[in-house]
Structure 1
Amino acid sequence: MGTDHIRRLRSALLALTVAGGLLLTGCSGAGGDHSGASKGANRYGDGATGPLPAPAQPSGTGQGEQNGERKGEENRDIAPSPDYLSTFALDVDTASYGYARRTLADGRMPDPSTVRPEEFVNSFRQDYERPDGNGFSVTVDGARTDEDGWSLVRVGLATRAAEDDRERPPAALTFVIDVSGSMDEPGRLDLAKDSLDVMTDRLRDDDSVALVTFSDEAELVLPMTRLGDHRGRVHDAIDGLESRSSTNLGAGVSTGYDIAVEGLRKGATNRVVLISDALANTGDTDADSILERISGARREHGITLFGVGVGSDYGDALMERLADKGDGHTTYVSTKDDARKVFCEQLPQNIDLTARDAKAQVAFDPETVREFRLIGYDNRTVADEDFRNDRVDGGEVGPGHTVTALYAVRTRPGASGHLATASVRWLDPDTRAPHERSGQLETGALGDDLWTAPARFQVDAVAAYFADALRHGDHRWTALPDRSSLTRLADRADELADSTEDKAVRELADAVERAARVEG
């Protein structure tokens, strides 16, 4: 088969792939497993793992020649087009970054298993254009990082701006509060009580609140109560919370969902808010059975979970799994400022929804892309063929949120033209009707140098490289011109903190500097 024929065949296959990525609503796939978020999509193409952005051995999805070699000489010329798709469920969690900051402040490096790069990146404000209604805007940009063809590509998704609190639907919130002995440590139960008191004063009269506590067993402290003239009753219940003995998290979650179901309000946002260090040590400590209880309430009643982690010792993995199974998200708080921001300033984001089962799929052009790597989202991958299967779970996203995915992308020598198409698919939170939106990136739109890119892009890069260093510690960062250490990364973050005058970026710079000192 001639070279021109092969090139035309590849172009035709690419056209079909990209066309599929641009199809709009109504293309739900048949069949599928409801646990699709746990399926292995092609993050690296061959299932390889490793530090950002690429190991010495090729590990991206540029495997067309490899497929041909495995199939034998006779099939090499007609090998199927390689998989240049990357598919994942959206995630707005930020707990991993908050817990890493807390751990570093205590003079320790975080356990690498608790470090999730996407949660570092999604902890920072973005300047993406926002849509007018429900759903997402799509922004795709990038910048070159070195002379070996590597670039950092960013896919940015944004929901509409958070509305005035008076415009959101009423909320029915069931707070499940850990009052075990470990919550007696400063910065745990005291922090939760302070935050809940402030939040109670800021909720609307038509909002409802219930309180469930758990230690060795669960207890209903306050049934679902419409605030109206009952704020004093809610404050009294909060003020009476005291730490006790062991942590029966399973009983707390189960009772909390029972109360949420009993107090279910049509037309309201029904949510369970779990506040805990997630260190289950008595009763039902089996994650799967606890998760199944959450899953059932989510499927039957649409009740979502918001997990708020506290404490220097924190069950990060369990809290994340609970939130994922409960169609919710997690955050971590260690100071009064953190807690008040979560419960008060971000309240509309945390209790309202603009998109359900949201997934993203990025189609890279094999004519221009040699290999790529998705940074993070390790446990949010979705099988490529399930992108339009609306029975497969995605992520739930509220107003005012942004979701950022970073890719390390290696282009082919001298390549020019189309580089990638990014699509996002979601279900309307009320009608469950599917929608999609896409954005594209050309090689000519790549910035010449990462460190002259817009400041928000650079902040995302620093956050991702910081997470990568905490996970791997070997500093194989081709995006840093001198492949330097955490100290150099701290310098970059410090410069960005000065130029942006952003408190969150200053906290990032401080965290990187602490990590450099701890690493020593």
Structure 2
Amino acid sequence: MAASSRQAGVITGGKPHSSETQFERTREEQDSASGEGYRDYGVNPFVTASEDRLSTFSVDVDTASYTLVRRKLMEGSLPPKEAVRVEEFLNYFRYTYPEPAASDGPLAVHLDAAPSPFTPGRHLLRVGVQGRRLSISERKPAHLTFLVDVSGSMQSPDRLPLAKRALRMLVDNLRDGDTVALVTYAGNVRRVLAPTGMEQKARIHAAIEDLTAGGSTAMASGIELAYAEAMKTLDGGSVSRIVILSDGDANVGTTSHEEILKRIRGHVKEGITVTTVGFGMGNYQDTMMEQLADQGNGNHYYVDSLLAARRIFQEQLGGTLEVIAQDVKLQVEFDPVQVSRYRLVGYENRDIADRDFRNDRVDAGEIGSGHTVTALYEMELKPGAGEGLATVRVRAKRPRGETATERAYRFPANALASNFKDASPDLRFATAVMGAAELLRRSPHADRWSFESVREIARAATVAGNAEREEFLSLLEKARPLLRGVAAR
């Protein structure tokens, strides 16, 4: 995702980022503080529309940051601010975006806006992208290669035992025509199972059940063997995906962050995508797991419970497995006659240079079946703003395609609410999610925002029985005293 416009986390897009964004810490420096690896991508600044009317970024459907932060809060601790990625909070939740019409291709765009409840004189613009949902009969056969970390660090119940339960669940949701291969890595690598069809499901389950943890971590060698297995079933009419289950640590062989990512990049054009599923806490390498998925044209999740595994491998299996649009870029053009300033909230590590929007050689993000992408902008509007205050362009390729197609969506007059209470429940809830993420990552733009306001907005936009949103409300209750403690210091 946007790999060509940034290397190893260095942002090189076309916006004047804050000095905090330019500051990049090495993996070793980050690990010395907590044993975990995160990267600080900074916080997007406001941009004057008359000087730069274009905001360009890669889509992102990852949700790992929200799940990881949820675990931290449920255990009674604030997450490192670097662990909070606003876009992954927003994209964790479901919104009622309209499905693409038959003439729209695989994607549809929804736009709405309302006055900000946090800062007087500002408005929030929501850009929502909905991917077409494929029916079960439309899904291509899936050839999956499970690459499982069985090193000593994976012994605890929230790691390999939970990963095994997640894999069994995934296998039970596959169908005839799908295959599974299984590779493990610790001090050395092992081919546990060659590509095996669903008619031998019991054999696949038994191979997963027999996995045990112990030894050091030869991740790079494991990746090479996983790709070798995936190549055995690669063809133009099916999905080929490697699913890496790990805490992200690597300490044997080629362990350099960049060296491992280079290996992934070398295989992307073969048509094999990568999903990373993170487990564990204490030594978790978030940066490694996120960028393995980015460079492998896939998605990144974190599993803290069996419920989280069910969401990924059962409820959203189509989106997890099958890409419907690749190298998806968004470019939002603000009308400087109507918009004074704007800032994109989140997506700091998805930035793309404006000039590269139509450069089809520049990598960007993938969208799976039924996936949604949500982005929020803070704006300062001029008097009379409304119709056409922004135009959103979406550029995407078909899976394994070489040339992208582009569509434009102009902001309609009726999409601007006169006050925040008149905005749709989805926009209001997304605002609360964004506000919580900004406060948790201690964004300088949220210095005067109220956590109580975030909680009230979320509560008013939550209908009884919506489990996702009710969980978020309970999470806010966990976060409130922890954030108060930070403010008191």
Shared topology, TM-score over 0.5? yes
Contact 1:97 1:123 in 2 (8 A): yes
Contact 2:438 2:446 in 1 (8 A): no
Quote the offset at 1:37 in angstroms. Answer: 5.2
1:403 aligned partner: 373
SS of residue in 1 equivalent to 2:348: coil
Is 1:493–2:458 an aligned residue pair? yes
Distance 2:221 2:242 in 1: 14
1:276 aligned partner: 246
2:40 aligned partner: none
* 115-124 or 347-356, larger mean C-alpha shift: 347-356
Question: If the length of structure 2 is used for normalisation, what is the TM-score?
Answer: 0.88
For residues 446-465 of structure 1, the aligned pairs below 5 Å read 446-465=416-435
Contact 1:179 1:243 in 2 (8 A): yes
Task: Indicate how the Cα distance of structure 1 residues 510 and 475 shifts in structure 2: closer, same or farther if over 3 A, else same.
Answer: farther
For residues 433-512 of structure 1, the aligned pairs below 5 Å read 433-442=403-412, 445-472=415-442, 476=446, 483-484=449-450, 486-497=451-462, 499=463, 501-512=465-476
Q: Which amino acid aligns with 1:508?
A: F
Q: Which amino acid aligns with 2:326?
A: R
Once the two structures are superposed, what CA deviation does each residue of 1:241-291 show, in whole Å capped at 9, x if it has no partner? 011122222222222122212332331100000011112233322111111
Contact 2:334 2:390 in 1 (8 A): yes
2:132 aligned partner: 160
> Which of 190, 194, 197 in structure 1 is aligned with 2:161?
190
Distance 2:204 2:16 in 1: 54
SS of residue in 1 equivalent to 2:48: coil
* 412-421 or 136-145, larger mean C-alpha shift: 412-421
> Which of 365, 368, 371 in structure 1 is aligned with 2:335?
365
Contact 1:156 1:402 in 2 (8 A): yes
> Which of 193, 216, 226 in structure 2 is aligned with 1:222?
193
Is 1:262–2:232 an aligned residue pair? yes
* 129-138 or 315-324, larger mean C-alpha shift: 129-138
Contact 1:425 1:435 in 2 (8 A): yes
1:149 aligned partner: 121
SS of residue in 2 equivalent to 1:344: helix
Quote the offset at 1:452 in angstroms. Answer: 3.5
> Which of 282, 292, 317 in structure 2 is aligned with 1:347?
317
Distance 2:386 2:68 in 1: 42
1:60 aligned partner: 46
SS of residue in 2 equivalent to 1:358: strand
For residues 245-394 of structure 1, the aligned pairs below 5 Å read 245-299=215-269, 301-313=270-282, 314-394=284-364
> Which of 138, 152, 159 in structure 2 is aligned with 1:181?
152
Q: Which amino acid aligns with 1:268?
A: S
Once the two structures are superposed, what CA deviation does each residue of 1:322-348 show, in whole Å capped at 9, x if it has no partner? 110011110111111111221122221
> Which of 458, 477, 486 in structure 2 is aligned with 1:513?
477
Distance 2:73 2:218 in 1: 29
Contact 2:360 2:402 in 1 (8 A): no
1:120 aligned partner: 89
Q: Provide the alpha-carbon RMSD of the alignment.
A: 2.3
Task: Indicate how the Cα distance of structure 1 residues 37 and 441 shifts in structure 2: closer, same or farther if over 3 A, else same.
Answer: farther
SS of residue in 1 equivalent to 2:193: strand
Quote the offset at 1:410 in angstroms. Answer: 0.6
Q: Which amino acid aligns with 1:371?
A: R
SS of residue in 2 equivalent to 1:243: coil
Contact 1:37 1:394 in 2 (8 A): no
Once the two structures are superposed, what CA deviation does each residue of 1:13-69 show, in whole Å capped at 9, x if it has no partner? xxxxxxxxxxxxxxxxxxxx9712555334xx5323789xxxxxx9533275xxxxx
Distance 2:114 2:393 in 1: 20
Distance 1:155 1:287 in 2: 33
Quote the offset at 1:443 in angstroms. Answer: 6.1
Task: Indicate how the Cα distance of structure 1 residues 208 and 135 shifts in structure 2: closer, same or farther if over 3 A, else same.
Answer: same
Contact 2:173 2:313 in 1 (8 A): no
Distance 1:344 1:294 in 2: 26
Quote the offset at 1:446 in angstroms. Answer: 1.6
Contact 2:241 2:321 in 1 (8 A): yes
Which ranges of structure 2 fall in alignment gaps of 5 or more residues? Answer: 22-43
SS of residue in 2 equivalent to 1:436: strand
Quote the offset at 1:417 in angstroms. Answer: 4.4
SS of residue in 2 equivalent to 1:254: helix
Q: Which amino acid aligns with 1:86?
A: S
Which ranges of structure 1 fall in alignment gaps of 5 or more residues? Answer: 1-32, 52-57, 65-81
Task: Indicate how the Cα distance of structure 1 residues 241 and 212 shifts in structure 2: closer, same or farther if over 3 A, else same.
Answer: same
Count of residue pairs the alignment pairs up: 454
SS of residue in 2 equivalent to 1:367: coil
Once the two structures are superposed, what CA deviation does each residue of 1:287-346 show, in whole Å capped at 9, x if it has no partner? 1111111111112x1111001111123211111111100111101111111112211222
Q: Which amino acid aligns with 2:323?
A: L
Quote the offset at 1:496 in angstroms. Answer: 3.0
Contact 2:3 2:294 in 1 (8 A): no
Q: Which amino acid aligns with 2:84?
A: V
Task: Indicate how the Cα distance of structure 1 residues 37 and 425 shifts in structure 2: closer, same or farther if over 3 A, else same.
Answer: farther
Contact 2:148 2:185 in 1 (8 A): yes
2:213 aligned partner: 243
Q: Which amino acid aligns with 1:330?
A: H
Contact 1:137 1:437 in 2 (8 A): no
SS of residue in 2 equivalent to 1:220: strand
